[in-house]
Amino acid sequence: MAVLSLFRRYSQQAFNQTSRAAMSSPTLTLNDGNTIPWLGFGTGTALYGKDAENAVRTAIDNGVIHLDGAQVYRNEESLGAAIAASGKPRSSLYITTKLEKVPAGQTVHDTLVVSLKKLQVDYVDLFLIHFPINHEQPLSTLWKQVEDVQKEGLARSIGVSNFRVKDFEAILPEATVIPAVNQIEYHPYVFKADQPVIEYMKAKNILPTSFGGLSPIVRFKGGPVDPVLTSIAERLSKTVGKTVTEGQVLQLWLKTKGIPAITTTSKAERIHEYLAVQSLPNLTAEDVAAIEEAGSTVHHRQFAKFFDD
């Protein structure tokens, strides 16, 4: 009962502290004053190493403006081709890419310039250090170079991905710019394990963004979260008079917590489903607590397994 009470108390606090503006708006404000669209289309996972042009065009044509790429995905050229072919003004799109590593004899600036050429843009809205491991230079030195590309205007906002508390502690003492975001695997089955870094980021005003948010229904089907999602989806379906899916409930969980969701699909109907989340009723504090209590009974991390070390 003590554990149950703790989860309910935390979830009630999180629910109360999330602004109504953040939950109803398609964007959230970062610590640098820039905004980030809540829903992002990712070109990793299913599109890793593949031509992403058609999938990205489908996303853009159906209303998605937040496009999340990375050097390690090996498809920045096709992301750039989709951006160019869309005919959308650069200012109407939000584009992210991520640093894989800095080759010998090069700088972060050099790698980002290559990415910008592939993306066919002059700047990215968000530039992240993709992983805190396997770099030949200290993270603090790397972060200083990331700060430099922001000063040059090549990136509007800068941040990190897959960073743990100890990784932040390696860069923040010497940082002049606090990372705007930390993109991490975040869903109910890593909720408990991710809490230390989530609390740390909250104290530093660093926004968590989520990838792999649909993992409970895509990668770990049959787990304890399933019946909770189904029950909430059935109730919301009756409330709005149309089908609400378990995937939409997971995205509502992220939205209620003020965490942008990065996801992907090749189907227009799935894009419509993701975008429709904005018009659905918010989850109750009890819904949030139930999802987190069920998710915290097991642990499943699909990506960046080092995160649990």
Burial class (CB in 10 A: 0-12, 13-18, 19+), 95: buried
CA distance 156 to 154: 7
- Name the residues annotated as catalytic: 73
For residue 258, which of 93, 40, 27, 41 has the smallest C-alpha distance? 27
CA distance 163 to 181: 10
CA distance 291 to 220: 15
For residue 169, give the DSSP letter. H
Residue 137's SS3 state is coil
> Is 130 labeled as ligand-binding?
yes
Residue bearing tokens 């990065």:
262
Tokens of 85: 């072919």
For residue 273, which of 232, 295, 242, 302 has the smallest C-alpha distance? 242
Residue 181's SS3 state is strand
Q: Which residues pair with 211 in a beta bridge?
A: 185, 262
State the CB neighbour count (10 A cutoff) for residue 118.
18
State the CB neighbour count (10 A cutoff) for residue 218.
16
State the CB neighbour count (10 A cutoff) for residue 276.
15
Compute CA distances 253 → 15, 47, 174, 257, 300, whole Å.
10, 25, 35, 6, 18
Residue numbers in the known binding site for substrate are 130
Residue numbers in the known binding site are 130
